[in-house]
Each structure stands twice: as C-alpha cells, then as structure tokens.
Chain A
Amino acid sequence: MSTHHDPSTDLTTQRGEDGTLPERFEDPGHPEHHDRQGDHDPKANKRAERQVVVLFTISILGTIGAIVAYALVPPGETVGSMRLSNLLLGLGLFLGLAGIGVAAVHWAKSLMNDHEKSEERHAIRSEDSVRVKAVEALREGAKDSAIGRRGVLKGAMVTSLALFPLSIAVPLVGNIGGDWDVSRSKRTIWKRGTRLVLDPTARPIKAADVTIGSAFHVIPEGLEELDHPLNEKAKAVVLMVRMDPRDLRSEQGEGWSYDGIVAFSKICTHVGCPVALYEQQTHHILCPCHQSTFDAADGAKVVFGPAKRPLPQLPITVDDEGYLVAQDGFSEPIGPSFWERLT
C-alpha cells in the first residue's frame, strides 16, 4: 500500500458528496512492509543463520563449563574459594541460558517471516441468542432442583454451609495464638534484686567498672535458664549508660539512677526495634530502624522521630558486693504501644 498517494487518505478525496469534510480522519490502513537485508541477500541470510548456530554453541560450551566448574572448583573453606565457585558456576549457567535466549530471539528476528498479520476481534460478550439459552438453562436447572418456594430448605442449606467451616476455624483460631495470654507482653523478668549482666556473656557488672561515657548492653541474670529465653530477652534487654551525674537533668523516678548510671529498656516504644546506638556527646539514644531519638540525660524523652513515649527506665542500685541490680521491675509495659497497654 502506498504511503503517500493513497486516495483514501488524501484530504481532497475525503470530502463527502456535498463537499464537507468528515468529522474525523480515516485510518490510512497498514503501512508498507519493509524487507530486511536477509530477505533478498542470500549471503546476509546465511550469515544470520551462522550467528544463530554460534549462539547455540556458546550455550553448549557454557553448560559444559558450569559442569566442569562444579566438579573442579568446590566452595572450600575460604571466602575466596566460595566466591570463585559461585562465580564460575554462575557464569557457566549464564552462558548456557543467554546463548539459547539470544539465539532464539535472533532467529525469530532475522530468519523468520516478519510480515505482520491482522486478526479480527469479536465483541467479548456472547450473542443475544446464546444469552437467552444460558438463562434458559439456568431456569431449567433451578426448576429441576425444585428449590423455588421451599424457603425452609433454602435456609437450612445456607445455614449449614455457613456453619460447617467453624469446625475447622474454631480449633485453628483456638490454637494459633498459643495460650492467648496477651497480658504476658506487659511483664518482663526484671524484679527487685535481679542482677544486671552483660549481653551475651552474662557476666555481672560492678558499678565501679562502668566508666563515664560508656554504654552497656544488658540482660537480666538467669535468662538462659528460662524455657523461652529469646521471648524473655526480646522484652528484657536494657541499654545502660553512665554520664557525669551533673549532666543528668531528669529521670523517670526519684533515685532510679546510680551515680550517673541510667538503664533504659532497649526496646523502642515505636515498633520495637532495639535502640542500639548511643551518642556519647549528646546523651542521645537512637533507634537505627526509624530514627526515633531519646535523650538519656532527660528521662529518655523523645527528641525526634516517630516514637511518642520515653523508653521505660529500669530503676537500679548496687547490691552488697557492688554489683548493679534492679531496684524493681519496669513500672510500665516496655516496647511498642498497644491498645490495652495501660489497662
């Protein structure tokens, strides 16, 4: 089809009988097909064929290479040997796949018939006659089922169908949450006299060993002997820092610190990440997950970020031997907020 002199697209011939122009342009129809070099030149055609063969050959060699690498280059014990094994296996796989893929696409583009074809579309909806028959079929079926005016039967059927999943759902829901004692998340194992010990070595800490400016990751003593140490650890971890007592502007309870040593729950009051970063100069405790920032010198009040509440403070003191111990457990639930937290 000519591109430029097609009478159907020439504006002069688009006028109607009365000389007016149509509302819209008309589709000029499919554009002309442009042949490829290989369609006329047997040499170019042959060259494309050879390229496809070479690509498939690359794939074969790649796969062989991967098998050889598998046999000869074990991951070994060092980072270097692991990396090499991974690299060689992966490159072999890459070549094995890429050869096939590029060969197939190249074949399709350079050697296969590239004349575009047009296919008609039909409306998605079914013909009216078909619809009539479909409705009829349903009517007949409904009639055969004799469900028509039997209200009680319908009700019984719907009710039984609605109820039967319960015998699966009830045991599932009943068990899926363990014992469902959600109040446990309000309690930690900290209590009066629990020693503060180092995480993870569980060594008790002498107040004298805590130098000014240092930060300690602390767990309660006796964590390992529990049934679910991780569950308790997830609530009980504490970040303890020591600063010059004169820098301590406020704390959450009278006398909850010991000589500039303050201990706060390490579980962020936002969504529960461990607030593991301590900035010595500013006394800021920072949560690396969402950047809530708490001021350790000012009762761990929020100075920035998405958290609302201060980190709960663990009241501490020292025992007779000079080891740091809890005066008491936390006075409020630790960690992120939840609906019934204050009940």
Chain B
Amino acid sequence: MSTVDSRPAPAAAPPSRVERAAAGTADYLDQRTGIGGAVKEFARKIFPDHWSFLLGEIALYSFVVLLISGTFLTMFFVPSMTEVHYHGPWAAMDGVQMSEAFASTLRLSFEVRGGLLMRQIHHWAALIFMAAIVTHMMRVFFTGAFRKPRELNWLVGFTLMILGLLAGFSGYSLPDDVLSGNGLRIADGVARAIPILGSYISFALFGGEFPGTDLIPRLFTVHILLIPALILALIGLHLLMVVLHKHTQYPGSGRSDKNVVGYPLFPIYVAKAGGFFFVVFAVIALMAATMTINPVWNYGPFDPSIVGAGAQPDWYMLFLEGGLRLMPGQTEFVIGQYTLSLNILVPGVVIPGILFTAIALWPFIEAFATGDKREHHVLDRPRNVPFRTAFGVAFLTAFFVLILAGSNDLIATHFHLSINDITWTFRILLFVGPAIAFWITKRICLSLQRKDRELVLHGHETGRIVRFASGEYIEVHKPLDAHERWLRVQHEANRPLEIEPAEDSRGVRRKGFRVDALRQRLSRVFYEDRVEPVTPAELAAAHSHGAHDALPAAHDEHAGELTGASGGTRHLAADVENTEGTDSTDGPKHP
C-alpha cells in the first residue's frame, strides 16, 4: 500500500506502465502531503458488518443527494417575495399573482428539463434523510452504542437531528405555497405565544409583520448556507469520532471490548459503502421518477386567507402539529393584563423541549444510574437492558401518538370517524400508551432473557421423542454449541448500585451521600428487575439434573423413537454432540 518509491522492486517482474504511473503519483503526493502514513493507517482499517449500521450511511448518503440536487435547484430558484404575475406552461396558474419564489418554483418544475426530477429528488431525499437519522438514533439507543466513550458523539448526532429538522422546515417553506405559508403562520403563532418576547421574536423572524417580504430570502440563506455548512462540519466531526473510537460491534464469539472484528475498509467497504451510496441515490431517483411529492402547483401561491383541508406538514414535523391539535384550549390564561397561552406553549415549546432534552441527556442519565466508567464497544442486545429498551419504546409510543394526532383529520375522513372522538382518544393515549408500552416491552425483554436462559440450560428441542423401557416419554434436547451459548451469556446484567452508608463508623455524615442516594434510587428503578445470564455452575447443575434420567448415549437402542412428535413433558439435557457427564461432584453418574 505504501508504495511511495517509484523505483521498481528488484525481485518482482518489471512493473507495468499503469503501476509505474500509480507509483509516480503516489510518490508525488506523499512527498508533498506525507499521505503514506494515513493510507497505511486507514486503508485496511477494520469495520464490523451489520445491516443496522447502514442506517447512518443512508442518512449520510441522502445528505449528499440533498447537496447535489439542492445545488441544481439554486441555479433556478429565485428567493424573492416580490409579487409577479405568472405566465407559463402551467395553464391553471396563468395570470395568477404570486411571489417570485413561487413563480420560479413553477418554472424550474415545468420549464427546466429535469428540474421537476431534481425537486422531487430533493424533497424525497429530505424525508429519507430525517427518517434515516431517526432510525439510526433508535439503533444507537437500543443497542447502547451511546455509552462511554461515545457520549459526545451522541450529542453531535443529536445536534445533527435538530439541524436536519431546521433544514427541512426552512426548505419546505421556500416555494411560498399555500401549505408552507400556513406552516409559517403556525410557526408565527407559536413564536408569539412565548411570554414577553413573543411578538418581538415574531418580528425578528419576519422582519416585521407576518408575512412581510424578508422571510423567503432569509430562509434561503439559512437553508442553503448556514445549516448545510453546520451539518457538513458536524458530519465531519461525527465520522472523525467514529474512526477514533472504531465502530461498535454486535456481541458474538470472538468479539470483545478489546477488539473489532470485520472487514477492511479497502477494498470491502470502499465497494460496499461506495456502492450503497449509489443504491440509496437510485432508490431516491426511482421515488422521484414515479411518485409526486409536494405538488405546490396544485396548492397555489400563499394567500393568508386560504388553507386546504387535510393539510399535513412533512412527517418529521407531524409530532409538533399533533401536540398543537391535542392540547385543550382551556389552558390559556390571562394574568392581570397579560396572556399566557399554555395551550400553545405546552405542545409547541414544552413537549418538544422535554422530548429533546430527554434524548440529548440519556447517555448521561444512564451512566449516572449505572455508575459504569468502563468503555463499551460491544453492543447490548436490547432484551438485556429491559429498562432502557422499555423507556425507548415508551418514548417512541408518545412520538407516534403525536404523529398520528397530527393526522387526525385524515384518519377521520379515511375511516369515517368523529374528529372529536379521535382527538380525545389520542389525548388519553398520549399518557396511557407510553405506560402500557413500557410495561409490555419490559415484560417482553425479561421473558426473552428467560428464554435465553432456558435455551442455554436445556438446549434446543430436537423433536426427537424417546421412550424408556419403563414406558416414560421424554424429548431429547440438543445443547447449544459454544458460539450459540456465548451470544446468550456474554453480557453482564446491570445491578442496582450499593452505596456507602450516610454516616461513617463515628457517626459523621458523609459528603456526597445525597447524590449517591439519588444515584442508588435511579439505579434501582433501572435495574431492580433483571435476569442474570447463565453461569457455568448453573449450566453444570442443569446438566447434572438432566443426567438423573439421561440416557447413557444419545442413541439408546432400548428406547423407541418418535421423530417429529412434540410435547415432551420433561426436559432432557442429553448431550448429543459432546460426551456425556459434564459433571462429577453434585450429581450421580450415568447408569
């Protein structure tokens, strides 16, 4: 790899012309950049393989697609709110008064060849970008990939998600159509609900009164310069930290916190990840070719007196919209002369504030409860951390209830239901749903862990029914091999912390006890309910227990065999593969 010397190697065959050219180029570059060291370091860097690691890649690649298609669009889009009259091929809008932003959107859709395709690619890519970010965060959350040393990278990723939301909202508003204009009006309404500063924030956004003439040019700068630059910089930081930390890996035999098992960057991931970029781009292109998105030419230009029924924001904004729809209006208060609109502040500011703060702080909350200072590079199986998994599912349940509430009008019209009933159902579900989801998920996790224990202790059911001479039937169980077993016993179950007492032996109050007590309470909430992985001693005991009625050999000639039947009443840990009698101390020998 580090061929920086242009002289031919002595013993090898004389290099071809291509090889000489490559060596010459490498030499030239290395003498000026010292890149040889980086190539040596990174070319064969190992990355683990798993489909769920592709989610972050999808986010990255859809961002690249956004940059490519967005650059195309800026060549034709005019970010101006100057009113013009449209004349062009879209007959339905002929002569209609509209802003230049909207008119240029129509022009780049219908008169620029390939413009509509690029616009649709851009919009679809934006939806996929956010979806990939959110699912990638879910993967990182549920597998505990945010644990030390990756807490800071979690924050970088979190900031990227927020920037993605802002990028989406600012871009969505640029065409200045009826839908996006009403979205801005809602944003204005939410901003104005902020106590004391509200009106001034609204004026600052719009350069005066809504809608004014400054907003589109301002959003344009934010959308094509400020946010993309920040996103790019943070993506760089995000990936730098991935390289620095080396990627996490799923548990399995041969994988530990001390190594990383997978394939080298060159050539495997150059081909796989590079190829995957084209796959992601291709899928987006196919969507843009076949599925219309945001047909602003049907909505018309923004007019503050028009709104369409069944209007929806892009999916990642639906949870905010849902919150606004659910909050009852009775929560607006007048204090003295001043109006406090909790009916807007709670769903528009408080709820997203809580949701986002919880996401951002989770790694630190969990680390506090766990008291764990070690580095973690092997991922958790979600079942092995029931509280976190249950919390995540509860969180997502609240998120999805809000998303559904943001579409309550469409649900009403599609299923012929009363909008009032739906709204009330969601109001209740927003609180009850997460609680139920938490409980169910936690139970499922614990059950899956018990299932793992069961499997390790007693092995796979083989479907082989064996009859003893005494007439007794049992099903033969096949023990797990070492690799199957390792997957199910490799984790450590977190236990509630034990702390030092409040007072030492001389009755002096200890400093920091209250923090410790809080930590202990939290860790109890997290880890009180747990299932410990099987230990070698437990397995040995299980084997010896089975040995009471075990067969001398797996293929007992005296026993009748009923293959394929099921419903053995007892478990038998007859070791088919290994030799019998894994135990000698606490169980009788085989007959």
Query: Which residues of A line the B interface, CB within 8 A?
Result: 3-6, 9-12, 14, 19, 21-25, 27-31, 70, 74-77, 82, 85-87, 89-91, 93-95, 97-98, 100-105, 107-109, 112-114, 116-121, 123-124, 173, 176-180, 182, 184-185, 199-200, 217, 219, 228, 230-231, 233-235, 237, 266-267, 270-274, 276-277, 288-292, 302, 304-309, 335-343
Contact = CB atoms under 8 A, between A and B. Distances in A.
B377 A176 contact: no
A12 B575 CA distance: 13
Contacts of B117: 86, 89-90, 93
Contact of B483 (A12, A31, A77, A176): A31
Contacts of B46: 117-119
A4 B485 CA distance: 11
From A6, A28, A93, residue with most partner B Cβ within 10 Å: A93
Contact of B199 (A70, A85, A338): A338
B339 A177 contact: no
| A-B pairs, 4 with minimum CB distance | A90-B289, A271-B189, A104-B275, A101-B278
B254 A270 contact: no
Interface residues of B, number: 128
A199 B305 contact: yes
Contacts of A109: 272
A28 B305 contact: no
B525 interface: no
B305 A121 contact: no
B36 interface: no
30 contacts: A14-B536, A25-B485, A30-B261, A31-B483, A74-B113, A75-B113, A90-B285, A91-B289, A100-B275, A101-B281, A101-B282, A105-B272, A118-B46, A123-B375, A124-B375, A177-B204, A177-B208, A178-B212, A185-B192, A200-B303, A219-B305, A230-B304, A271-B188, A306-B329, A306-B344, A308-B341, A336-B188, A336-B192, A338-B192, A339-B192
A126 to B, nearest CB: 12
Interface of B: 44-46, 89, 91, 110-111, 113-114, 116-117, 120, 149, 182, 185-186, 188-190, 192-200, 202-204, 207-214, 244-246, 252-254, 256-264, 267-268, 271-272, 274-283, 285-286, 288-290, 303-311, 321, 324-332, 334, 337-341, 343-344, 347-348, 375, 377, 408-409, 419-420, 423, 481-483, 485-486, 489-490, 533-537, 539-540, 543, 577-578, 582, 585
Given A118-B254, A336-B341, A104 B278 contact: yes
A124 B244 contact: yes
A272 B275 contact: no
B278 A4 contact: no
Contacts of B340: 339
Contacts of A25: 485-486, 489-490, 534-536
Contact of B339 (A89, A94, A339): A339
B261 A270 contact: no
Contact of A119 (B259, B304, B307): B259
B282 A98 contact: yes
B192 A340 contact: no
Contacts of A124: 149, 244-245, 375
A274 B306 contact: yes
A231 B211 contact: yes
Contacts of A91: 286, 289
B321 to A, nearest CB: 8
B211 A97 contact: no
Contacts of A23: 535-536
B304 A3 contact: no
B212 A116 contact: no
A235 B182 CA distance: 14
From A4, A112, A118, A177, residue with most partner B Cβ within 10 Å: A177
Contacts of B278: 97-98, 100-101, 104
Contacts of A289: 182, 186, 307, 311
A234 B286 contact: no
A155 B193 CA distance: 40
Nearest to A186: B199
Nearest to A175: B207
A76 B89 contact: yes
A121 B490 CA distance: 19
B220 to A, nearest CB: 16
Nearest to A111: B271
B84 to A, nearest CB: 14
B185 A309 contact: no
From A90, A272, A291, residue with most partner B Cβ within 10 Å: A90
From B197, B334, B340, residue with most partner A Cβ within 10 Å: B334
Given A100-B275, A108-B271, A121-B260, A340 B199 contact: yes
B338 A343 contact: yes
A209 B510 CA distance: 85
Contacts of B540: 11, 21
